[in-house]
């Protein structure tokens, strides 16, 4: 079964999770999501696999979050998903996908949930 990681090489947590996958003998497909942002459809599917609401997957401390007014509680899921697709730096990372399951690996030890 293939494994994919939404990876940001400049993120220490993302590097730790990638190393843990490799130590477990898994060479994942690496999705550099900042260069290849997920579409709104992909994000909706990913959120379903994660069992998360869009706002929970957003980097709310990111300056851009405030600048775009994404803290407005009246915004619907579609608007938040579109914002993440257009501005992938808003997406929390790393995310590991294996089959129908996806895990936001924060802290990095959560990668064990997809290894087992």
For 1-116, where are the E strands, in sequence order?
A: 3-6, 29-31, 95-98, 101-104
11 among known catalytic residues = yes
d(CA 53, CA 105): 16
- In the set 4, 5, 11, 15, the catalytic residue is 11
Q: What is the CA angle 104-85-105, rounded to 5?
A: 10
Q: Tokens standing for 71?
A: 């803290």
Catalytic residues: 11
């Amino acid at each position: 079964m293939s494994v994919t990681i939404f990876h940001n090489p400049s993120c220490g947590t993302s590097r730790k999770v990638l190393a843990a996958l490799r130590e477990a003998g898994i060479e994942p497909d690496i999705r550099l999501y900042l260069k290849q942002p997920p579409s709104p459809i992909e994000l909706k599917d990913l959120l379903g696999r994660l069992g998360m609401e869009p706002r929970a997957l957003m980097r709310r401390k990111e300056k851009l979050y405030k600048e775009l007014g994404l803290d407005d509680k009246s915004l619907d899921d579609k608007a938040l998903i579109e914002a993440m697709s257009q501005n992938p730096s808003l997406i929390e990372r790393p995310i590991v996908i294996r089959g129908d399951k996806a895990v936001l690996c924060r802290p990095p030890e959560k990668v064990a949930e997809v290894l087992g």
